[in-house]
Amino acid sequence: MKAYFDSEANAVSIDLLEVDHWDDGDEFDEYYCTVAFSKNRLANIGLLHPSEKLELLEAVAQRYDLDATKLIAGAKAALASPDRTVTLSDRVVAY
């Protein structure tokens, strides 16, 4: 899992899978959270205003059977290292 916090956009991008491109995407939440898919698998989660909206990652985790603790840890690591990619070695994707 890789996470990146863009400090200018105030957004976190969490890559669950390494893919060349996303096939599909959708809003998870009307304003703050998006999800993207590759070959029908959740590949990325985007979150605006992450320091205020981490609870949306819990909702994404519940819907897609992911580990919420690891998603939030990834987002927090990215927030602590703005404008750098943070790589976490543990998988959060459900198989």
pLDDT of residue 67: 94
Structure tokens at 58: 């819990």
- pLDDT confidence of 91, banded at 50, 70, 90? low
Prediction pTM value: 0.90
Structure tokens at 95: 């198989």
Residue 94: is its pLDDT beyond 50? no
pLDDT digits 0-9 by tens, 4-54: 999 999 999 999 999 988 998 999 998 999 999 999 999 999 999 999 999
48: exposed, middle or buried (C-beta count within 10 Å: 0-12, 13-18, 19+)? middle
Question: What residue has token string 């959708």?
Answer: 26
Structure tokens at 13: 């991008």
